[in-house]
A and B are shown apart, each in its own frame.
Chain A
Amino acid sequence: MTIQIKKEELFSFLPEHAFSFFADTPVVYHCHHYNLWLDQTIDDALGSRESVALRTRCAHEAFYHYLAQLIPRTGAETPAEKLKVAELIFGAMGHGTLRLHTQAQGGLATGDFLHYGFTWKEKYGEKVRRRHTADAVAAGCAVAATEIAYDLPMGTLDVAEETCVALGAPQCRFQIEGAKQPMPPSRPVGKKETQRLLGDSFTGKYEDQIHAIATGLRNFLGTINSDERGLVQGFGVFVTLHLASYYNSISYNALYNIERTAPQSFRVMEELLIEAGHQCGFNTFGGIIGSPEWEGLAGAPTGDPLEILIGCCAIGRALGFGQWTIQDYTPEKYFVLRSPGTYESTYHVTRHGLASSGRCYLHQGGTLAMVQLAHRVNWRDKPQFTPELYSSLFRGQAQWRTEETHCVSKGDDYCEIVVERTGN
């Protein structure tokens, strides 16, 4: 049997809601800055041991549901073919090179240029000494792929990353074996579950401009392939096409863990998740707008704040974050971003039910980053997106107040972030 991964057939897009799916599984693009920062946020909140366990479990679950949808559509029949599909798709999504040498009872997997470990080493390797492994996502994929390949229920096997490039090893190695503890069953949060929650979509101001740029950028993203390492390097960052469920499950599981064990720190945890959104907006949005690709598509940034806000809305849509619309804007004072749903809120309602307050943390942090990029970055000077620039924008006294006034997670018809200037 010939394995066929027909990207065009497996990929689908809901244009009115700007959600992307691969094999009916919600997917989004994120860069390594956000990926590393969010993982670090979970590490800080739970401690590295518990965090690695949680992140590995979440990746295991997310990849199990994903591969269960994907593999039957590729023509793969034998376990070897199914494992091969998992390896190919993992690299095609920009996660690096994973090799699975596993049987039904487990075995070894190896990783080279794995997105998390490799980019951690690139970004922090010379400055920071890491003490725990970095590749929970690859570990989760490896164990899930083995279970799917051998028709095993989720949680039959367990995985541990034994060596990691982020710890100085030449290669990442994963040991997979029979699970000692059962994994609680879970339902997938796929396209069907997401669509069930979506109400009517809507547009906002500057819709024609946002739509045109978003369409061009999304089409361009569709043409980008990973390199021979299984990495996607573009816009000055390493890009992944990632399972939205992974981001959501690590974020909300950590958040509710904190709520149970240290309720006084709940708000702090929310702030940390929002800060991860700042990282995303600053690095990914900033990197895209500063890139030649953007210049060819939308023109060189002129320094007009509105132009940046329009551009960021288009980027949010193209990355699969949701139908970001501008509802109100007064320069230097007020900005309202509204969406009929985000990849965070639709997941939250499906998995955790209704919340008492907004749960779109990436959305909140990303919106503040948009406003800062629009008003505080001198685009004419062609800035470098350095840690120093990040600190100058996001540390120190807050100049803006951000509030999620509406959220699908708390039963509203849409998600809305209001950013308002504080003081002068």
Chain B
Amino acid sequence: MHIRRDPSCVQFLLWRCTPDLPLEPEELCQKIGQSLINNGFVDKSRETWLLVYEETKQHHQIVLVPKTGRIQVRVHYLIPVPQRPLVAFSLACQLADFLGDTHPKAEQLR
């Protein structure tokens, strides 16, 4: 799994995760979506073309695009700015575990 700041990211809130595993977009989204639900995330999707899962304690979100397989981690704004990259990193590791993928490298957070 790779992680980098997403385009338009301000204050370390938005992160793009890209798995190493060669999965089809829909399969990838289905696998992650199901794992997130199994791990207590809530499905907040309003459209079939944009899947949104929210963690219930701190309200971080994982956004999935079934058409392309894009994964975006949205750290909640209440997390202090210096801690946001680590929160994103931890969520990316969780996603990697769901897929059986390798964890991202910490230096990718820069």
Q: Which residues of A contact B (CB under 8 A)?
A: 122-123, 220, 223, 233, 235-237, 286-287, 290-293, 295-297, 299-300, 382-385
Task: Knowing A382-B7, A385-B7 are in contact, say whether A296-B77 is a contact too (CB < 8 A).
Answer: no
Q: Tell me the number of A-to-B contacts counted with CB atoms below 8 Å.
A: 61
Across-interface contacts of B84 in A (CB, < 8 A): none
Rounded to whole Å, the gap between the CB of A379 and the closest CB of chain B is 9
Q: Mark B37-55, 1 if CB is under 8 A from A, else 0.
A: 0000000001101100000
Q: How far is the CA of A215 from the CA of B26 in the complex (A)?
A: 24
Across-interface contacts of B47 in A (CB, < 8 A): 220, 223, 296
B91 within 8 A of A: no
Q: What range describes how many residues of B lie at the interface?
A: 20 to 34
Instruction: Name which residue of chain A comes closest to B50, CB basis.
Output: A296
B101 within 8 A of A: no
Task: Knowing A220-B47, A292-B50 are in contact, say whether A300-B7 is a contact too (CB < 8 A).
Answer: no
Q: How far is the CA of A286 from the CA of B11 in the complex (A)?
A: 18
Contact B46 A223 (CB under 8 A): yes
Contact B8 A385 (CB under 8 A): yes
Contact of B68 among A233, A287, A299, A383 (CB under 8 A): A299
Q: How far is the CA of A385 from the CA of B46 in the complex (A)?
A: 27
Rounded to whole Å, the gap between the CB of B109 and the closest CB of chain A is 15
Contact A291 B8 (CB under 8 A): yes
Give 16 new A-B contacts, CB below 8 A, not counting A291-B7, A292-B50.
A220-B47, A223-B47, A236-B7, A237-B10, A286-B8, A287-B8, A292-B65, A292-B72, A293-B50, A295-B65, A295-B68, A296-B67, A296-B68, A299-B68, A383-B7, A384-B8
Contact A296 B7 (CB under 8 A): no
Contact B7 A290 (CB under 8 A): yes
B88 within 8 A of A: no
Task: Knowing A292-B63, A295-B65 are in contact, say whether A236-B9 is a contact too (CB < 8 A).
Answer: yes
Across-interface contacts of B10 in A (CB, < 8 A): 122-123, 236-237
Contact B5 A384 (CB under 8 A): yes
Contact A300 B70 (CB under 8 A): yes
Task: Knowing A122-B11, A233-B77, A382-B16 are in contact, say whether A296-B6 is a contact too (CB < 8 A).
Answer: no
Q: Mark B49-87, 1 if CB is under 8 A from A, else 0.
A: 110000000000001111110101000010000000000
Rounded to whole Å, the gap between the CB of B43 and the closest CB of chain A is 15
Instruction: Name which residue of chain A comes closest to B46, CB basis.
Output: A223
Contact A236 B6 (CB under 8 A): yes
Q: Mark B1-35, 1 if CB is under 8 A from A, else 0.
A: 00001111111011010000000000000000000
Nearest 5 A/B pairs, CB to CB: A236-B8, A296-B49, A290-B7, A296-B50, A287-B8
Across-interface contacts of B70 in A (CB, < 8 A): 292, 295, 300
Across-interface contacts of A233 in B (CB, < 8 A): 13, 77
Instruction: Name which residue of chain A comes closest to B64, CB basis.
Output: A292
Across-interface contacts of A122 in B (CB, < 8 A): 10-11
Instruction: Name which residue of chain B comes closest to A231, CB basis.
Output: B77
Across-interface contacts of B77 in A (CB, < 8 A): 233
